[in-house]
Every structure is written in C-alpha cells, then in structure tokens.
Structure 1
C-alpha cells in the first residue's frame, strides 16, 4: 500500500475501506491524499527543526494538514 494512502487511513481509521477504494479509482483524490501525506511529513520535519522559523512553519503546516483533512473528509462524504 502506498505510504500516502497509509497516512490518510491513519488520519481516518474508521474510513480505511473508502479511502482505499477512492485511491484506486479517483485521480483527484489521489492527489489530495498525497498532499496530505506530504504536509504531515513537512510538519514532522519542522517540529524537529532548530530553525528560528520553526514555530511559524509548524503553524503553517498544522493548518495545511487540518485543511487537507477537511477536504479528504468532504470527498469521502461525497462518495459514500
């Protein structure tokens, strides 16, 4: 299973089957969960950083992860 699919399922464990199905059939959804996984990875990176911009970047990526999670949930709801 692609790491980005796993990241989406980890964020929505009760909707794993629906995520797997959309991942196979919907290119737009594929892009969305890949962006979600990338944003989560970037957040982890910045959380571990000692850079002077660490806090600002963490805040930006937390917001992006939240926004993408909302989009994923909306897409899952549309495809029930």
Structure 2
C-alpha cells in the first residue's frame, strides 16, 4: 500500500496528509491508489518499449492515469 500512496502523493504533493489519512481509513481509496500506481508503472513500461503498439498503449495509459488522478482528487474533495 505504501508505494501506491506515495504515487498519489507525488501527483498531489500538497494533499499528502489527506491522502495518507484517507488511505488508512478507506479500502476503496487504497485500491484507487493501487490502480493509479499500477497504471503509472504500465505507462513507464510502454514509454520504454520498442513495440509497434507503443504509441497506442502510451496513449491509453496516459488517459487511464489522468482518469484515476481525477478520481483520487474527487475522493479527496469529498472527504474534506
């Protein structure tokens, strides 16, 4: 869980404390952070790939990372 929480904090450094607090108390938020970290890792993988589908996969994972970041932000706003 810690790696996933750190990935979310890296994206929203000014909300680090709120991310940590919510991750400790909300399993769904923990899962969201884990999905976000996994999507970021997949994006890095595809960015370094020489596969012919590299560009398409990068675009897909960039969009997924953006969507998950928006979900994290919305959950943080709701928990205020």
TM-score bucket (shorter structure): over 0.9
- Runs of 5+ unmatched residues, structure 1: none
- Runs of 5+ unmatched residues, structure 2: none
Matches within 5 A, 1:1-80: 2-80=2-80
Count the aligned residue pairs. 80
| TM-score with structure 1 setting the length | 0.98
Shift of 1:2: 0.9
Q: Report the aligned-residue RMSD.
A: 0.8
Shift of 1:28: 0.5
Q: Would you identify which runs of 4 or more consecutive aligned residues in structure 1 move more than 4 Å?
A: none
Give the 3-state SS of the residue equivalent to 1:49 in structure 2. Answer: coil
| TM-score with structure 2 setting the length | 0.98
